Amino acid sequence: MTVLLVGSPEPSLAAELSRREPLSSYPLPDSPAVTVILSCGGPVDADLIAGLPNLEAIVNFGAGVDAIDLAAARARGIAVSNTPDVLTDTVADTAVGLLIDTMRGLSAADRYVRAGHWPVRGPLRYARDVSGSRVGILGLGRIGSAIATRLAAFDCTIAYHNRRPVPGSPYRYAAAPADLAGSVDVLVVATAGGPETARLVDRAVLEALGPQGFLVNIARGGVVDEDALVELLTNGGLAGAGLDVFAHEPQVPAALLALDNVVLLPHVGSNTARARTAMARLALRNLDEWLAHRRLLTPVA
């Protein structure tokens, strides 16, 4: 079986590949020879899938599979795997750090000191407490649940919205995203990306969150109506936002760069050596299992 590498492997995956076989063993081969794709962020769309008549499996480096056309893969009976669990804690840590930074204005305070404003302008305006706040989590999956567990230690009141209630969850369920947003101080977006969740956080949801509400997004930029988000942040319709993801990465709306109530990160939710190495090893274990036994350890449902 011949493996096609799609995208550029980041250092953790490149290091794992170099210890096993040279990267040159994964060239772009003739289309009929390809039976497995190792996807490293590059799009695996319907056209690519259609052009590989003998493709059997797509092994994805990463938990999110929104860059893969799952419907096209499903129609052909092509198996798909991802790397869940190994990055759950790291992304949840990022979400909580981003939430604290956004509500307390820590990055803005750092800029204030560095710019020399403190001796001249005096103390900063009051920020908002994280402890005791009402937090809504959009997407109570692995990562959303890990975020909730961390925020419970801050004595936060947790509510959530999924397509359906999570059996046994101790948290309040909201029937719709707008219902959730209207009942919390901060909305954390932790749902999967892709067509099914595109602009799930639309203008109505953001307006329900309101001028005292904060948005934190560590999911995918396309889940949020970015134009509406920028407008509301600019005109006072939201208190602030912490964003690790954007609709057109790596492009960030210019209007956001000038706002002190917005914290901007370059999609670093799982960007630690431990998490990325674990992702690389799990992706290659999936690849090995398929090459040897035609099975995947972590298949995408």
Parallel/antiparallel/unpaired status of strands 214-217 and 240-243: parallel
What's the token pair of residue 171? 């948290």
φ, ψ of residue 33 to 5 degrees: the values are -80, -20
What's the token pair of residue 127? 């920020």
Could you give the CA distance from residue 276 to residue 12 in angstroms, rounded to a whole number?
6
Extract long-range pairs of 178-181: CB within 8 Å, 24+ residues apart.
Answer: 178/204, 178/205, 178/208, 179/208, 180/136, 180/138, 181/136, 181/205, 181/206, 181/208, 181/209, 181/213
**Half-sphere exposure at residue 93, Cβ-oriented, CA atoms within 13 angstroms:** 10
User: Which residues are catalytically annotated?
Assistant: 220, 249, 267
Could you give the CA distance from residue 91 to residue 140 in angstroms, rounded to a whole number?
14
Could you give the CA distance from residue 200 to residue 219 in angstroms, rounded to a whole number?
12
Q: How far is CA 128 from CA 10, 105, 148, 213, in A?
A: 37, 8, 19, 10
DSSP letter at 61 equals S
